[in-house]
Amino acid sequence: MSYNPYQQNPTTPVPLGRDGKTIAAEKVKTPAILLMVIAAVSMVSSVFMGGSTATIYLGMQDEIMKEFENNPPDPELTPEMMEMTVNAFGWGGVAFAVLAVLANVIVIFGAVRMLKLRSWSFAMFAVFLAMVPCFQGCCLATIPVGIYAMIVLFDENVKSSFQ
């Protein structure tokens, strides 16, 4: 009798077969976790940017206006127009930061749904939202991760495993 190192020992337990849902869960795990990490980093970045915008433009509004009056960028700008510009940058930056935080919360929620194999359409929406460069801190990371997640989500075995 010859020795075969690749033959399964009859005393070792046979591994259980993996069903389609388990395989699909393994496939979506990496892109979902990457989306959550990128969205969390982007959310922190958005909070920081919104806070710094509010501090700089709105907290130092008087100093900025004095600088504009002393050295106007355009002599035809009236003080009212300069004040509107400062307010637009201040409140616009804060509003954009709030929108970016909300978008990142949706991306994180969609990635969690992807991990749990629930709501394929919402997971796909979160992937598309993650790929919008305006709401993410680094589109160089979100675009490839988003494409990877889309490829995984469009896999027929993965798509059929969603509830």
Q: pLDDT digits over 146-160, tens only?
A: 999 999 999 988 898
Among 50, 91, 85, 47, smallest CA distance to 64 is for: 85
Whether the full predicted model's pTM is greater than 0.85, yes or no, is no
Name the range with the highest mean pLDDT among 19-23, 27-31, 45-49, 84-88.
Answer: 27-31
Name the range with the highest mean pLDDT among 23-27, 88-92, 111-115, 128-132.
Answer: 111-115
Reading the block at residue 46, the tokens are 């958005």
Helix then strand then coil, in percent of the chain rounded to 5, is: 70, 0, 30
Among 89, 100, 101, 95, smallest CA distance to 58 is for: 89
Q: Residue 50: its pLDDT value, please?
A: 81
Summarised one tens digit per residue, pLDDT across range 59-110 is 677 777 777 777 777 777 777 777 777 777 777 888 888 898 999 999 999 9
Matching residue, tokens 């589109």: 139
pLDDT band of 16, cuts 50, 70, 90: very low
**Is pLDDT at 41 greater than 50 in this prediction?**
yes
How far apart CA 112 and CA 83 sit, in angstroms, is 43
**Is pLDDT at 11 greater than 70 in this prediction?**
no
How far apart CA 110 and CA 104 sit, in angstroms, is 10
